[in-house]
Structure 1
Amino acid sequence: MIYQGVLKKMLTENATEIQYYLDMDSDFLNMNQLLSKHFSIKFEGHQCLHCNLERKIYRTGFCKSCFFDTPSAGDWIMKPELSKAHLNIEDRDLTYEKQVQLKPHIVYLANSSNVKVGVTRKSQVPTRWIDQGAHEALEIVEAPNRYLAGITEVALKAFVADKTNWRKMLKNDIEEVNLITVREQLKQHIPDEVVPYFLDNSKEVHLNFPVLQYPEKPKSLQLEKTLSYQGKLVGIKGQYLIFEDDTVFNVRSNEGLVVSIEI
């Protein structure tokens, strides 16, 4: 059976074992059901996730024009501390920016390869942690807007990482750390205006990924270069598909590619 569609990040469901779904336009594929099975994936073209035109993808699933125009690709997405909707200042579209920025945001600690600090909308918990491949996470601040969460992240990343080592994450090379202890160590570095939003009694969340075999030496599949690939799926972690031959494919970083999948 052949499925064709535009790649978008896999949808997830936090169950006893995380469930992954790939939207292939006409159907949803439960990727967990493909574990231990061979299938092929083939590059067919490009389609911008914003304008839906057949254009070369520039970043995050957008063509170059849309990346620099659409409000959902503003600098404040990657750098929350640049948010200005709370000041009634527009970046690209103030209405959109208020809808996103003026919502509760969580500053969290996550452990996927090492302890990192991050920011996400409260509505994106635990999806954000799943997408990062974190096996455990802990909320430390619930701020009323994105800006306050952003300046907290900036303050704390002087003491803990703000990036995930994707190779260590996929190899399940995990540093065992007590996140509650780290939270208490970081409390003194929370900006004064954010201290009222510090979470003293939050609980660790543990996540279980569907992985049968971790890669020893993960090698990234560049589908636009190889054009097609066939392999046996042995795991899914973060937004990566893991294959038996140590090939890994990051679905999210390939958003906007039109692909066909034959099972």
Structure 2
Amino acid sequence: MLYEGVLRKMQTENGHPIQYFMIFDNGFLNVNQALNRELQIDFIKYQCLNCGEDRPIYRQGFCKKCFYETPHAGDWIMKPELSTAHLDKEDRNLEYEKKMQLQPHIVYLANSSNVKVGVTRKSQVPTRWIDQGAHEAIEIAEVPNRYLAGITEVALKDHVSDKTSWQKMLKNDIEDLDLTEWRAKLKPYIPEEAAQYFIEDNTETNLEFPVLQYPEKVKSLNLDKTPSYKGVLKGIKGQYLIFEDSTVFNVRGNEGYYVGISIQ
């Protein structure tokens, strides 16, 4: 079967294990069903997720021009503390920014390679944790807008990491930790504006990824350097495909690349 289209991050359904789907113009692929089968990925062209043009992808699936213009790539997306919609102040498109920023957000702890603090819209739980390859996670606070989530994350970054080691995550070089204990430890550092939103009566969420074989040493597939690749799929974790020869492919990191995928 041949699938063809522009890459976007895989859609997921939480289960035992998590189910992954790649959505294309001519249908969708349940990636779990491709485990232990040979996949071939062929890079055909670029297709910017905003303008649709065949221009080199700069960041987040956008060409350089669109990255600096589209409201879908504003600085507040990567840095929630820069959100200004609650002040009725526009960055690139106030209507879009109000829609995205002025809704409940979760400040959380996740463990994928180590404990890290992060922010996501409430509607994206547990999707955000799945995308990060976290095997366990817990909510710290539920706040009414993105700005409050951002300043809480910034305050907590002085006491816990905000980064994931994707290599450790993919090699499954991890340990189980008591996230409720971590949450209690971090409570005193939550900013006064967000203190009332602290959550202290929930439990960890545990996630199970469909991986048959973890790589000992990861080799990242770069479609610009290797436009055609073939390998046996052995696992899916985070937004990565893991192959038998230890090659890994970051689907989300290649958004905007138009590809053909065939399964043997």
TM-score of the aligned structures, taking structure 1 as reference length: 0.99
Which 10-residue stretch deviates more, 46-55 or 100-109?
46-55
> How far apart, CA to CA, are the structure 2 residues paired with 1:23 and 1:52?
17
Q: 1:6-31 CA deviation, whole Å, 9 max, x = no partner?
A: 00000000012100000121110000
Moved over 3 A (4+): none
Aligned match of 2:226:
226
Equivalent residue pairs, number:
263
For structure 1, the 5+ residue unaligned runs are none
Which 10-residue stretch deviates more, 195-204 or 236-245?
195-204
- Matched AA of 1:105: H
Q: 1:133-154 CA deviation, whole Å, 9 max, x = no partner?
A: 0000000000000000000000
> How far apart, CA to CA, are the structure 2 residues paired with 1:132 and 1:126?
10
Please tell me whether the aligned partners of residues 140 and 202 of structure 1 are also in contact (alpha carbons under 8 angstroms): no
> How far apart, CA to CA, are the structure 2 residues paired with 1:179 and 1:39?
37
Answering whether residue 163 of structure 2 is matched by residue 173 of structure 1, we say no
> How far apart, CA to CA, are the structure 2 residues paired with 1:24 and 1:220?
23
> How far apart, CA to CA, are the structure 1 residues paired with 2:86 and 2:182?
30
> How far apart, CA to CA, are the structure 2 residues paired with 1:56 and 1:244?
29
Aligned match of 1:258:
258
Q: Where do 1:87-166 residues align within 5 Å?
A: 87-166=87-166
- Matched AA of 2:114: N
- Matched AA of 2:179: L
CA RMSD in angstroms, aligned pairs only: 0.6
Q: By how many angstroms is 1:177 displaced?
A: 1.3
> How far apart, CA to CA, are the structure 2 residues paired with 1:39 and 1:162?
34
Q: 1:50-77 CA deviation, whole Å, 9 max, x = no partner?
A: 1111111110000111100111100000
> How far apart, CA to CA, are the structure 1 residues paired with 2:83 and 2:3?
39
Aligned match of 2:204:
204
> How far apart, CA to CA, are the structure 2 residues paired with 1:69 and 1:223?
25
Please tell me whether the aligned partners of residues 48 and 62 of structure 1 are also in contact (alpha carbons under 8 angstroms): yes
Q: 2:224 is paired with a residue of what secondary structure?
A: helix
TM-score of the aligned structures, taking structure 2 as reference length: 0.99
- Matched AA of 2:189: H
- Matched AA of 2:145: N
> How far apart, CA to CA, are the structure 2 residues paired with 1:161 and 1:39?
35
- Matched AA of 1:58: Y
Q: 1:206-262 CA deviation, whole Å, 9 max, x = no partner?
A: 000000000000110011211100000000000000000000000000000010011
Aligned match of 1:244:
244
